Amino acid sequence: MNKKDIAQIRKQFKINNDLLKISEIFNVYIMKESSDIYHHQSQPFEMLDQDQQELFLNNFKKLLAGQLDEKLFELKFQRDAENNSQLILHQGLLSDLDGWKEQMLKIVGKMLVNQQYEMDIVITFIRGEYLKPTKRKNEEAEISERDTVYSHPFILCSLNNTQEPKKELLFDYVEREFKYSFVVDPIINLNAPIAGFLFPCFTDNVADVNHILYSSGKVHEPDHQFIEEVLNGEETMTAKDDKIVFEEIIKEATGDQLNTSTLSNVYEEINRMIEENEEEEQPKLDSKDIERVLKISGLEDINGEKVETAFQKVIDDDKYELKASSVIPKYTSKSIKINTKIANISISPQDLRYVKQVHLSGKRYLMIEVEEDTVIEGFTMIPEAFGGN
């Protein structure tokens, strides 16, 4: 799934939407002390009152929020995994009501193996159908775009912590007295899901049962045990991991000798690749791609052997591919931070070419080319000769 696919299904989670039909909701309450199932309940989603529906729908939207490879991860299922979650979920999609609950309880059982939660948790499953209209071929067509739709059955799971109820002091206007209020029932925090998944993934309007979309509770902190042992997904790298690997490979291949102009060229070339493939699968960079990018960026002494050696040294796999969108800072925002003892500066990758580190009279200077006068605290700075006092 790309970000447009995810955004499209995410915005369907709203009340009275004829493009999203949720049939069942299945809630399972887990005790923190024993990691046992205390209670589970299944019911038709439409039987919930509207306020309850809105609470859950907002929870599902939050689950699917975030950037790919940062908070959301498309995972490929492991081959030949024992008690495979791919088969369990697929059977859950096709089963009757009793069979659906049985398969979801199998997933819950896998979550509870060797897992101790800090709070009681509630695991929520829904089974539904996402209807995506086909595009009309022309504006004069008499058939509505909703007369023909792609049908996508799916299962979504959300894990949520519980919170201790508040102890409060109340004033009773009728009796004219202060009262101590303590609610025993725990509160289910639906505002911040701690994990979850969507099965199957959807690619080009086709269900992809070989992949599952995993949602992490925190950015850049996927639960690898949950991914591998519960979902049986293959090991994944975050965007942050890819960026670190990319930086180390570049340092190793170039001898850690890059000026800002060359680095700017590297970012510009990779961003060009991303923009040219925006409607397709996001581009990936192998050792040959990085060699080409470095040569285009002005590093003439780079060759394939240097880059392959760098790959093997950093990640021990010269066949590994880095996602292009993960390795460069966000291109149109001030995502590059330059930190010195004197000042901290934020600039965008496309403006990096205007920044240089120069030497003069045995001292290092950070020089920024500007087109307008510099104003500091309302005062316009007078231009000075470079190196002047």
Q: How far apart are CA 92 and CA 87, in angstroms?
A: 8
pLDDT at 387: 62
pLDDT at 159: 96
Mean local confidence (pLDDT), 92-98 = 92
Q: Which of 278, 369, 270, 287 is nearest to 329 (CA)?
A: 270
Q: How far apart are CA 308 and CA 58, in angstroms?
A: 47
Residue whose entry in the numeric block shows the structure tokens 């397709």: 280
Q: Are strands 167-172 and 177-182 parallel, antiparallel or unpaired?
A: antiparallel
Cβ neighbour number for residue 380 with a 10 Å cutoff: 9
Q: How far apart are CA 49 and CA 45, in angstroms?
A: 9
Q: How far apart are CA 285 and CA 243, in angstroms?
A: 12
Q: How far apart are CA 178 and CA 187, in angstroms?
A: 24
Quick: pLDDT tens for 109-161.
Answer: 999 987 788 889 999 999 999 988 876 545 555 545 556 778 899 999 999 99
Exposure on the CB side of residue 33, measured as CA atoms within 13 A: 1
The rounded percent of the chain whose pLDDT value lies above 90 is: 44
| H or E segment to which residue 122 belongs | strand 121-133
Contact in structure between 318 and 308 (CB atoms under 8 Å): yes
What are the Cα distances from residue 387, in Å, to 342, 343, 358, 360, 361? Answer: 17, 18, 11, 7, 8
The rounded percent of the chain whose pLDDT value lies above 70 is: 94
- Strands of 31-118, DSSP E: 37-44, 72-76
Domain boundaries defined on the chain = 3-236, 240-327, 336-380
Q: Which residues 6+ apart lie within 8 Å of 259 measured at CB?
A: 356, 357
Quick: pLDDT tens for 41-54.
Answer: 999 999 999 999 99
Exposure on the CB side of residue 84, measured as CA atoms within 13 A: 15
Q: How far apart are CA 258 and CA 218, in angstroms?
A: 33
The tokens for 39 are: 């209670």
Backbone angles phi, psi at 189, to 5 degrees: -85, 95
pLDDT at 91: 95
- Render 244-271 in DSSP notation, one character per residue: HHHHHHHHHHHTT---HHHHHHHHHHHH
Residue whose entry in the numeric block shows the structure tokens 């059982």: 109
Residue whose entry in the numeric block shows the structure tokens 């809630």: 27
Q: Which of 163, 226, 166, 212 is nearest to 192 (CA)?
A: 163
Backbone angles phi, psi at 291, to 5 degrees: -60, -45
Q: Are strands 149-163 and 121-133 parallel, antiparallel or unpaired?
A: antiparallel
DSSP lists the bridge partners of residue 212 as: 75
pLDDT at 25: 96
Is residue 259 scored above 70 in pLDDT?
yes
DSSP lists the bridge partners of residue 51 as: none
Q: How far apart are CA 115 and CA 361, in angstroms?
A: 62
Q: How far apart are CA 152 and CA 148, in angstroms?
A: 13
How is the chain split among helix, strand and coil, in percent rounded to 5?
A: 30, 30, 40
| H or E segment to which residue 92 belongs | helix 85-94
Contact in structure between 355 and 367 (CB atoms under 8 Å): yes
- Strands of 231-381, DSSP E: 284-285, 322-323, 336-339, 344-347, 355-360, 363-368, 375-376, 379-380
Quick: pLDDT tens for 8-65.
Answer: 999 999 998 989 999 999 999 999 888 889 999 999 999 999 999 999 999 999 999 9
| Mean pLDDT taken over the chain | 87
Q: Which of 234, 238, 241, 250 is nearest to 287 (CA)?
A: 250
Angle, helices 85-94 vs 97-112, to 10°: value is: 160
Q: Is the bond preceding residue 44 a cis peptide, omega within 30 degrees? A: no
Q: How far apart are CA 302 and CA 288, in angstroms?
A: 11
